[in-house]
């Protein structure tokens, strides 16, 4: 950020009075431009014992497999965002069943919200951002060519829950690409 | 948004190619400036059968009571944000026990994440943004002078769970100030 979006004045990084963090502050009009984490909303579209994955047609991680997910927009709810992304990436219609995972990615200022979902029919196809979309049983999941750690962790917890016959909500953090997920456990 | 933060060029609202939404686009360098919902993270600090509330010293809703909560910052997790806000607003230390509510406020582009928490000691006091902080039993909660619908809904669900002896996660939307909360129910 170099210029003020309100007055086009030069921006500098400064700790405003009463604040403790470096912010982008306009040197002309003094307005503070805050930056905050973004929500990535998506789902696990399930058909019997299979899950719908999309192979990415766009950067980053082009060619790798992912669950349908993307940035939540203004004026929508997280569930609406997850359904919209599923339709955009896989031309698929789902019914949302509940929140499955909340994963913080502080290194990239994102919070993933992934929902359990029921695929409503088999009329799906690649959207503009996908090369291919397909259903996978657990033993066919392309674990080595998944696009993101959040997708790996979400799928891994999902199949674990399936084996135990439960529907759980999971919360955790992925601090960086080389760290394993750190999942929250309720203190005793 | 009037000027481009990258090049100081004039901004106009336009639907970029391949997009379906009006975005802020620079008329000079063509960069798209996206805007996304912000996360408000907070908690329900519990001490025995009492909950800690803060009376707001700042706008909006100055003088009204709220749970400690505020905008999640870059470089932190949602739990860290909830603990930081609790310390800033009430000089209180809590242990987070789990996620209690996720409430979408699409009209103001916010998503509330409210955690169940255990107050660690009684050494609390008003922070810079609070006039007063105090513990309330359910029958003493100032329902008529709560600052936000999200706080009312979070407290109401929390005490309902307490009466039933359960710890549940609740998800829903508050579409505007005049609408009742619309809570998610898992489809059969």
CATH number for position A31: 2.20.70.10
Do B78 and A104 lie within an 8 Å CB cutoff? yes
Structure confidence at residue A184 (pLDDT): 98
In which band, very low, low, confident or very high, does the pLDDT at B148 lie, cut at 50, 70 and 90? very high
Q: Report yes or no on B188 lying in a domain.
A: no
Are residues B90 and B109 part of one domain?
yes
Do B5 and A6 lie within an 8 Å CB cutoff? no
pLDDT at B164 over 90: yes
Residue B77 contacts A, CB cutoff 8 Å: yes
Distance CA B45, CA B73 (A): 21
Mutation target vs B (from A26, A73, A77; most B CBs, 10 A cutoff)? A77
Are residues A89 and A23 part of one domain?
no
Structure confidence at residue B79 (pLDDT): 98
Residue B184 contacts A, CB cutoff 8 Å: yes
Percentage of chain B beyond pLDDT 70 is 100
* B42 within 8 A of B69, measured Cβ to Cβ: yes
Q: Report yes or no on B59 lying in a domain.
A: yes
Residue A53 exposure: Cα atoms within 13 Å on the Cβ side: 23
Distance of alpha carbon B25 from the chain centroid: 29
Are residues A149 and A134 part of one domain?
yes
Residues in Cβ contact with B170 at an 8 Å cutoff, skipping those fewer than 6 apart: B100, B101, B102, B157, B183, B184
Question: Quick one: DSSP state of residue B163?
Answer: H
Residues in Cβ contact with A178 at an 8 Å cutoff, skipping those fewer than 6 apart: none
Are residues B29 and B84 part of one domain?
no
Structure confidence at residue B127 (pLDDT): 97
Are residues B27 and B50 part of one domain?
no
Distance CA A22, CA A14 (A): 5
Are residues A83 and A59 part of one domain?
yes
Are residues B54 and B19 part of one domain?
no
User: Nearest 5 degrees, angle CA B7-CA B39-CA B5?
Assistant: 5
CB atoms within 10 A of CB A75: 10
For residue B21, with 0-12 CB atoms within 10 Å meaning exposed, 13-18 middle and 19 or more buried, which class applies?
exposed
Average pLDDT on B152-159 reads 98
Strands A94-105 and A11-14: unpaired
Question: Quick one: DSSP state of residue A162?
Answer: H
Shortest Cα distance, chain B CAs vs residue A33, angstroms: 10
Q: Report yes or no on A152 lying in a domain.
A: yes
Task: Please state whether B18 falls in left (phi above 0), alpha (psi between -120 and 50) or beta.
Answer: left
Distance CA A179, CA A168 (A): 23
Taking CA–CA distances from B72, the nearest residue in chain A reads A36
Residue A186 contacts B, CB cutoff 8 Å: yes
Are residues B116 and B30 part of one domain?
no
Residues in Cβ contact with A20 at an 8 Å cutoff, skipping those fewer than 6 apart: none
Q: Which helix (H) or strand (E) holds A110?
A: strand A110-119
Split into its structural domains, chain A has a count of 2
Are residues A102 and A11 part of one domain?
no
Domain of B76, CATH number, reads 3.90.79.10
User: Nearest 5 degrees, angle CA A38-CA A43-CA A47?
Assistant: 175
* The pTM of the whole model exceeds 0.90: yes
Are residues B6 and B49 part of one domain?
no
In which band, very low, low, confident or very high, does the pLDDT at B115 lie, cut at 50, 70 and 90? very high
Q: Report yes or no on A188 lying in a domain.
A: no
Mutation target vs B (from A87, A104, A174; most B CBs, 10 A cutoff)? A104
Average pLDDT on B151-179 reads 96
The residues in B 118-137 lying below 8 A from A, measured between CB atoms, are 118, 128
Taking CA–CA distances from B118, the nearest residue in chain A reads A187
Are residues A107 and A26 part of one domain?
no
* B3 within 8 A of B10, measured Cβ to Cβ: yes
Q: Report yes or no on B7 lying in a domain.
A: yes
Residue B36 contacts A, CB cutoff 8 Å: yes
Question: What is the SS3 assignment for B82?
Answer: helix
Are residues B55 and B12 part of one domain?
no
Structure confidence at residue B188 (pLDDT): 82
Largest CA distance in chain A: 60
Structure confidence at residue A18 (pLDDT): 87
Do A39 and B39 lie within an 8 Å CB cutoff? yes
Distance CA A159, CA A181 (A): 16
The domain in which residue A54 lies consists of 38-182
DSSP string, A32-95: EE----EEEEEEEEEETTEEEEEEE-SSSSTT-EE-SEEEPPTTS-HHHHHHHHHHHHH---EE
Residue B73 contacts A, CB cutoff 8 Å: yes
Distance CA B2, CA A77 (A): 27
Structure confidence at residue A81 (pLDDT): 98
Q: What are the φ and ψ backbone dihedral angles of A100, each rounded to 5 degrees?
A: -100, -45
Q: Across chain A, how many H-helices and E-strands are there?
A: 2, 12
Do B71 and A34 lie within an 8 Å CB cutoff? yes
Instruction: From chain B, pick out residues whose CB is under 8 angstroms from the CB of A35.
Output: 74
Q: Report yes or no on A87 lying in a domain.
A: yes
In which band, very low, low, confident or very high, does the pLDDT at B178 lie, cut at 50, 70 and 90? confident
Strands B38-47 and B110-119: parallel
Q: Report yes or no on A11 lying in a domain.
A: yes
Averaged over successive runs of 10 residues, the pLDDT of chain A (188 residues) comes to 97 94 97 97 98 97 98 98 98 98 98 98 97 98 98 98 97 94 95
Q: Report yes or no on B90 lying in a domain.
A: yes
């Amino acid at each position: 950020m170099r210029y003020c979006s309100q007055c086009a004045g030069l921006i500098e990084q400064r700790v405003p009075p009463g604040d403790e963090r470096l912010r982008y502050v306009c040197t002309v009009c003094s307005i503070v431009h805050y930056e905050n984490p973004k929500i990535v909303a998506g789902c696990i579209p399930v058909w019997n014992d299979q899950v719908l994955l999309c192979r990415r047609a766009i950067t980053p991680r082009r060619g790798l497999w992912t669950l349908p997910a993307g940035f939540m927009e203004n004026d929508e709810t997280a569930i609406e965002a997850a359904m919209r992304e599923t339709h955009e990436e896989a031309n698929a219609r789902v019914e949302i069943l509940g929140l499955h995972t909340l994963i913080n990615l502080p290194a990239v200022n994102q919070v993933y919200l992934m929902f359990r979902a029921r695929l409503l029919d088999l009329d799906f196809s690649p959207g503009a951002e996908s090369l291919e979309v397909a259903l996978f049983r657990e033993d066919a999941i392309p674990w080595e060519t998944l696009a993101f750690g959040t997708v790996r962790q979400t799928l891994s917890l999902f199949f674990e829950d399936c084996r135990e016959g439960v529907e759980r909500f999971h919360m955790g953090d992925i601090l960086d690409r080389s760290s394993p997920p750190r999942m929250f456990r309720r203190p005793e």
